[in-house]
Copies of this chain bind each other. A is one copy, B any other.
């Protein structure tokens, strides 16, 4: 069975946290005002491009690398959408029993270059009209981040 990612949000029966791993994500729109999203292969939900920090890179560099790997696009970070560290959001990995507490920093970015390219982790890369995001399958945490990107002027600090 393919390893899966299960997001437990405000679930009192979620397994206990045993890890915190910083991740970065990016919110970027194109010249038509459409938002860049991927569909994740590990849970089939739509999400902002992003992933976990590796040793030797800054978190901004994580955001740039993950966006390139998952979407094919080169971006540059221009601002901060928010810092998401809700301990009631737990991410369970069925492959190894890891249960991570949410730790994601979402940056706003602008598009520099590139063409859409899928990956094993992101079998769909799409530009979505913000008015049509409601219908996409997505965790509540992703919806919150996107809503903050579209509507807040100050970074969300949790």
Please name all residues of chain B whose beta carbon is closer than 8 Å to the beta carbon of A55 when the two chains form the complex: 16-18, 20, 87, 101
Shortest C-beta distance, A15 to chain B (Å), equals 12
Interface size class of A (residues with CB under 8 A): 20 to 34
Interface residues, chain A, CB within 8 Å of chain B?
Answer: 16-18, 20-22, 53, 55-60, 77, 79-80, 83, 85-87, 101, 103, 105, 107, 155, 157-158
- Alpha-carbon distance between A86 and B21 when the two chains are bound, in angstroms: 16
Do A157 and B80 touch (CB < 8 A)?
A: yes
Q: How many copies does the complex hold?
A: 2
Task: From known contacts A20-B53, A55-B20, A59-B85, infer whether A155 and B155 are also in contact, taking CB-CB under 8 Å.
Answer: yes
Residue of B16, B80, B85 touching A53 (CB-CB under 8 A): B85
Roughly how many angstroms separate A36 CA and B86 CA in the complex, as a whole number?
27
How far apart sit A22 and B104, CA to CA, in the bound complex (Å)? 11
4 new A-B contacts, CB < 8 A, other than A16-B55, A20-B55, A22-B103, are A58-B86, A58-B158, A80-B80, A83-B83
Give, as a whole number of angstroms, the nearest-CB distance from A141 to chain B: 13
| Contacting pair A85 B103 (CB below 8 A) | no
Q: How far is the CA of A59 from the CA of B73 in the complex (A)?
A: 31
